Amino acid sequence: MQISIFGMGYVGAVSAGCLANDGHEVIGVDPNQTKVDLIKKGQTPIIERDIGEMVAANTASGRLRATTDVGDAVRGSDISLICVGTPSQLNGNLDLSYVRRVCEEIGSAIKEKGGFHVVVARSTMLPGTMRNVVIPTLEQYSGKVAGKDFGVCNNPEFLREGTAVHDYYNPPKTVIGESDPRAGDLLVKLYEKMDAPLVRTDIEIAEMVKYTDNNWHALKVAFANEIGNLSKALGIDGHKVMEIFCTDTKLNLSPYYMKPGFAFGGSCLPKDVRALTYKGRSLDLDLPILNAIMPSNQCQVQKGLDMVLAYGKKRVGILGFAFKAGTDDLRESPLVEVIESLIGKGYDMRLFDRNVNLAALTGANRDYILNHIPHISKLMVESMKEVLAFAEVIVIGNGAKEFASVLDQLKPGQVVVDLVRIVPNKSEAGRYDGICW
């Protein structure tokens, strides 16, 4: 395939070398004449393991060339990759001036070109940038329509400096956000030999995936550092702690807890976070991430409450109020906090949870209900049917399978507030409201 790559910086140069090495005809484009001249001489414009040899070999073979002429590059290619920088402004927002400029230039070139050209953004851009900046600019300068006359994709890269060539050929995933299937089909051909999951999705999701990845990596580094600092203060080897932590791929490094939804609760997580942060304070340690966990969790409790309050309807039913499905444990259940707030505001409520049956409860759970939240026990009913017959707003509080049928049983005027994603639906105004979707 014939490919033009705009921006011969870190991502662009690595992409150019690897794609040419795969047998594609690649044109590197950059306004910096020095970078263009280096590639023409078979030299790499960046320092990165293995890329120098690739540039030299593929320049010699004719599969890789470089130019400052945008029109020549677009005319000579089927697909253009945007790999220009998106540096931070002083306020933290992105500087999109390079992106805008290159879109203006590519759009102008597409205007004069026949056939279906695909423009792919590899540059890291916030969600909405493709729709609000890239596509409008391309359409304005080309006089053509994205998804019809030319294609647009977002294709985030997952390259680490120092191991970029290895990462290119061994990606954790390949993500393609596409304006239309035709554009996506062409881009997929670049990755046919990759042994990695291929995900084709909406453009905005692809944009957000890149930021989710990088912020998660940053959080992991900072989290490990705080655990290390606390461990050292306690005379413990933090490296050994984290080595053992990372051997657990069933819970610690897994999708298990990594799903947006409501706040955590139960008898373990809140208690243990508080205990560890208290220990940090007693040692005069600054642990901003660990100290932020409980306030962040409380924000999610408040968000769930605010969603119910926003409807202004006084009859509220709660389906599932143990802290998770399959348990009768109400201790530190975030739903209990929501229920108590609603009661305090004068809401009329009915509660159902098959596992929370007062007659069957024993020990700590029974004592907790009778002595700490007796007012809640009086609102419990025997069936989901009773809640549905009563409530104007129905809150799904945990993932018990029986609650999945609720949407099929709604009466006109009833609305569901879903805190667990009991169904895969997106939010639908006036009928179904997911807390994070």
Which DSSP string corresponds to 346-360?
A: T-EEEEE-TT--TTT
Query: Tokens representing 75?
Result: 């005319």
Asked if 127 and 211 count as a contact pair (C-beta separation under 8 A), the reply is: yes
What token pair was written down for 171? 């990606």
The DSSP secondary structure of 136-174, one letter per residue, reads HHHHHHH-S-BTTTEEEEE------TTSHHHHHHS-S-E
Three-class SS state of 377: helix
List all residues 6 or more positions away from 273 whose beta carbon is below 8 Å from its beta carbon: 290, 293, 294
What is the residue type of 334? Answer: P
> In the prediction, which pLDDT does 356 show?
82
The pLDDT, as a whole number, for residue 363 is: 63
3-state DSSP assignment of residue 294:
helix
Spell out the domains of the chain, with CATH numbers in brackets.
2-201 (3.40.50.720), 203-258 (no CATH), 299-434 (3.40.50.720)
Q: Which pLDDT value is given to residue 323? A: 79
Burial of 367 (0-12, 13-18, 19+ CB in 10 A): exposed
Catalytic hit among 18, 153, 246, 268: 268
pLDDT at 373 (0 to 100): 77
d(CA 290, CA 397): 26
Q: Which of 315, 332, 314, 316 is nearest to 324 (CA)?
A: 332
pLDDT reported for residue 360: 54
- State residue 54 phi and psi, 5-degree precision: -65, -45
What's the pLDDT at 365? 65
268 in active site: yes
Cα–Cα distance for residue pair 149/147, rounded to 1 Å: 6
Residues 6+ apart with CB under 8 A from 70: 6, 29, 102, 105, 106, 108, 109
What is the chain's pLDDT, residue by residue, as a tens digit (437 residues)?
Answer: 999 999 999 999 999 999 999 999 999 999 999 999 999 999 999 999 899 999 999 999 999 999 999 999 999 999 999 999 999 998 999 999 999 999 999 999 999 999 999 999 999 999 999 999 999 999 999 999 999 999 999 999 999 888 999 999 999 999 999 999 999 999 999 999 899 999 999 999 999 999 999 999 999 999 999 999 999 999 999 999 999 999 999 999 999 999 999 999 887 899 999 999 999 999 999 999 999 999 999 999 999 999 999 999 999 999 998 878 887 777 788 999 999 999 999 999 999 998 887 545 566 666 777 777 788 878 999 999 999 999 999 999 999 999 999 999 999 999 999 999 999 999 999 999 999 99
Per-residue confidence (pLDDT) for residue 285, from 0 to 100: 95
User: What DSSP assignment string belongs to 8-55?
Assistant: -SHHHHHHHHHHHHTT-EEEEE-S-HHHHHHHHTT--SS--TTHHHHH
- pLDDT value of residue 367: 72
pLDDT at 331 (0 to 100): 75
CA separation for the pair 257, 189 (Å, rounded): 34
Query: Distance between CA atoms of 129 and 126, rounded to whole angstroms?
Result: 6
pLDDT of residue 362: 61
